[in-house]
Structures are given as C-alpha cells and as structure tokens.
Amino acid sequence: MALTKEQILAADDMGLLEVQVPEWGGSVFVRVMTVGERDSYENDWMVNKSKGVENFRSKFLQRVLCDEKGELLFKANEIELLAKKSARITIRVWEAAMKHNALSDDDVEELAKN
C-alpha cells in the first residue's frame, strides 16, 4: 500500500535515544535531525572543508541534544558553551548521537573529500 502525504507527515520518525552521562550527573536525550538540519550540517562541512569546521562536534550536538519531549537544549548561539565541556565525555555523547542519526566516520570522511 502506497503512503499518502498525510501519512508520511504524520509518522513519528524522530525517535529519541537516552545516553547515560554519569559525569554530568544523569542522562541526556539525543534526537534524530530533520533532513533539513542534516543538509544544513553537511553543507557547513562542504563549504568550510578547506579550513575545517570549527566546533563541528558541538555544532552537531547543538542540533540533537534535547529534553524528553524532543525540544533542543541549546540554541545555535550557545555552541560555545558546549565547546567548553570535556572532550572525553562530549565525544562519547557525540559518537552515540552520530550512530543514532545514521552518520558514520566514513560519512564524515566523505564530506571532507567533497
């Protein structure tokens, strides 16, 4: 059976992943980016690939860290706040968020090439 536009738009496909972060005293939720958010993130990579994307992990986490309702925890102008957190812990959360968003190290490398 072919889906209708209404069925596609009504589908809840923005699943949340809870990531335990004992160093921060609890857990965080990670949501799936919309296709528009992912395109924007990938475009940032492609436009800035020659010089690198400053705070690329923090920029990614800003787009996916959320509360249990899926509301983002950080605004775009708060990326620097995330950038000040421990790399060891942040990278662990980032890796879980990458996996939850179907992004791999190969995807990041491919973006760097294009």
Return d(Cα 1, Cα 63) in angstroms, integer: 34
71 or 12, which is more confident? Answer: 71
Structural domains in the chain, CATH included, are 16-113 (3.30.2220.20)
pLDDT at 113: 57
pLDDT-based confidence at 12, cuts 50/70/90? confident
Instruction: Give 13's pLDDT tier (boundaries 50, 70, 90).
Output: confident
pLDDT by residue (tens digit) across 89-109?
Answer: 999 999 999 999 998 656 555
* CA distances from residue 21 to 54, 86, 89, 93, 107 in whole angstroms, order as listed: 24, 12, 8, 8, 25
Q: What is the tens place of the pLDDT at every residue in 35-47?
A: 998 888 888 877 7
